[in-house]
Amino acid sequence: MLTIWYHRDFDGIASAAILADVLRQKHGRTDLRWQGINHDRRSEWIDWGKDGAEFACVDFFFHPRAMFWFDHHPTTFINDDFRQQYQQNERWRFDPTAPSCPPIILKHAAELWDYKVPERFRDLEHWSNVIDSAKFKSAEEALFGDQPALRIMRALTVAPRPDWSDEIVRRFLDGSLESVANDPDLEKRYQRACRNRDSAIDQFESTIVERHDRVLLYDAVSDKIRRERFAAFYLYSGLYYAVGIVPTRGGLHITAATNPWNVPPDGRNVGEICERYGGGGHKAVGGANPESYAEAVRIAREIAHELRDSLSPRK
């Protein structure tokens, strides 16, 4: 049995489906299973696979025991030892310049294993890039776009169970984005997610802790409110950064993001800032998982102030 561990987000789910297809077609693997994972498992990661179980990993931290591994996160190496053990080979590939993980796997499989990329995976690759690097045309598209991939992205925000994403991997494996999006189960989730989005927009103002012209700090921990990733930038288009505290299944999470539709000149690397607090991410977006609410408030405030102080007075 080979388990594919994948980051539980749109491009991670797409990556798992793509790797599963590559492994079954080009490596004859019929004993595949897959399971989603989030960055809150970081402390356990060093011991992953200690029991000798075979595993692959996509869109997630590097592990030297991974039989296959592909990622694009610049913060993929959890320590120097792991960093030193990585080198590109026939089973591992890292490309921090890739906008999402699927193009890395597709390129690798085509180059090394003569894999013919099916059309449905080209589509999945395109939308993974758009979604993971927030290359939506506008905040309106990010919030209200109804293309199949965007409906799936939104439906994932109201997954009925943590392993629901495993089901989406299975559907991506053989179906087009359109067929997956048109599934009645998914459509039902999507409608619910749209109602949540509308509430989140209505409620956003009540979560604001500090609002500077360019940097906004919000606290969306209350279980009475809905959350929407781009609400801050949709409502306040002049912002450069938004830093927020949000709850997740794994505990409190700090999210720090650059406004994709109003990119600051000489913008800071938000992922690196978050890494100093035990988190990680990309240049444009980062996150951290503090131990307590008090710590979350302190860290979120520090990150917001650091971003604010990085702006020259005239900006």
Q: Which residues bind Mn ion (CB under 5 A)?
A: 7, 9, 11-12, 59
CB 125 within 8 A of CB 181: no
Question: Residue 254 CB, nearest distance to Mn ion (Å)?
Answer: 17
Our CB check for Mn ion shows the closer of 37 and 220 to be 37
CB 225 within 8 A of CB 254: no
Question: Residue 14 CB, nearest distance to Mn ion (Å)?
Answer: 9
Cross-strand bridge partners of residue 32: 2
- Cα angle value 146/166/278 (rounded, 5°): 90
Our CB check for Mn ion shows the closer of 9 and 21 to be 9
Question: Residue 153 CB, nearest distance to Mn ion (Å)?
Answer: 12
Our CB check for Mn ion shows the closer of 128 and 207 to be 128
CB 22 within 8 A of CB 113: yes
- Between CA 83 and CA 61 the distance in angstroms is 10
Question: Residue 11 CB, nearest distance to Mn ion (Å)?
Answer: 5
Our CB check for Mn ion shows the closer of 12 and 286 to be 12
What are the structure tokens assigned to 133, written together? 């690097």
Our CB check for Mn ion shows the closer of 11 and 219 to be 11
Question: Residue 216 CB, nearest distance to Mn ion (Å)?
Answer: 24
Helix, strand and coil in the chain, % to nearest 5: 45, 15, 40
